[in-house]
Amino acid sequence: MGSATRDARTRAGFTLIEVLAVLFLTALLVGTAIGFYIDLSNHSQKATDTTREVRRATTLIDRIALDLERTVLVKKPDDMDPLANPWIFLADSHLGQRFRGTASGSDRIKFMMRADPPRSNEQPMSDLSTVTYTLENSGSGAGFELRRWSSSRMPDHLDRDFPRPDDPASLLLADGVAHFALRFLNDSGEWVDRWDSSQIVDTSELPVQVEIELALVPQITSADPSAAQAAEGEPIVYARRVLLPMRPLDMVALLDPDQLNGGNQNCKLTLADCIDWTKVGGGKIPGMGNPPVSQGAPQMPSADVVQALSDLVANAPNICWDQYRALYRDSPAVKQQCR
């Protein structure tokens, strides 16, 4: 009787092997759950880093594109001293940066643009500004610095110099820039890496489009080793093409009706004849502009593009349409007979 009771109690307990098996399975489940949580956290952090980079790059390109869309250039009269004409659109490379093994594009640009009216009346100013974007070596950290400088005081002569990085008006837009380059589309449909409106080749001329390329040094905050290894690879290049709507202004022709169309008496279609402003809505002209390099959706111009064309129609409605045909003929805002 006593022996049977002891056998029943023995069968009711767990053996050491069974206890160890349960502990092993529990540890395995807990380890899997912890690994899954860590992996999920790393992926979430990586997505956050990527989103932050995309927003940062897009904001920078938007800022540059907005300024370029307001570009203004006045042609130099034939009888004017070239050094006395302050108007310029200049872009070149001063760092000689190489990206992906090749050197291309300009890493700094200087131009004049339509700006917001000045708020100070202490010194004579206008609604025009001289603007520069320059890529500079970084004093600390990886990559380069992208700086923007602007002045509302128009120079009284040709000034090809760029401001120094320590100029008080030079603002740091971004650090940790891996690549910044500008390329230009001329009237012949050819892309070039440099532009100088003060030289004979491009005298008093503007590019039709400007292509902006920007890449940032990846900033990975994740502790995942694979994410850190990916950060050491090549950065993502963001690109956009910006249309310059304002063609160079010939003030001599604008002030002299006889020279308005360059002496061309055969000009049958004018700017006012060809743009149908009833099709403009919401500050955008459907179909105008060009799709970004990395996207298929059309890029709509900002209100400044529309305003620039509106100013042309209002101030010089009799300018010959031929010089604008190649730029805007595919827009629904252009009348059928002008395409």
The mean per-residue pLDDT over the stretch 88-105 comes to 80
Beta bridge partners of 91: 109, 195
Domain ranges of the chain: 46-248, 253-338
**Residue 268 pLDDT grade (very low, low, confident, very high; cuts 50, 70, 90):** confident
Please give the pLDDT value at position 44.
67
* Distance spanning both ends of the chain, measured CA to CA: 111
Question: Sign of torsion, CA 281 117 159 95?
Answer: negative
Please give the pLDDT value at position 297.
37
Q: Give residue-wise pLDDT tens across range 31-87.
A: 888 877 777 767 666 766 667 888 889 999 999 999 999 998 888 776 667 667 788
Q: What are the structure tokens assigned to 265, written together?
A: 């008496």
Q: How far apart are CA 174 and CA 185, in angstroms?
A: 26
Query: Per-residue pLDDT for 22 more than 80?
Result: yes
Q: Indicate the burial class of 3 (C-beta count within 10 angstroms; 0-12, 13-18, 19 or more).
A: exposed
pTM as predicted:
0.64
Q: Give residue-wise pLDDT tens across range 276-298.
A: 766 654 444 444 443 333 333 33
Beta bridge partners of 27: none
The mean per-residue pLDDT over the stretch 151-162 comes to 86
Q: Give residue-wise pLDDT tens across range 29-46.
A: 888 888 777 777 676 667
Please give the pLDDT value at position 281.
45
Please give the pLDDT value at position 333.
74
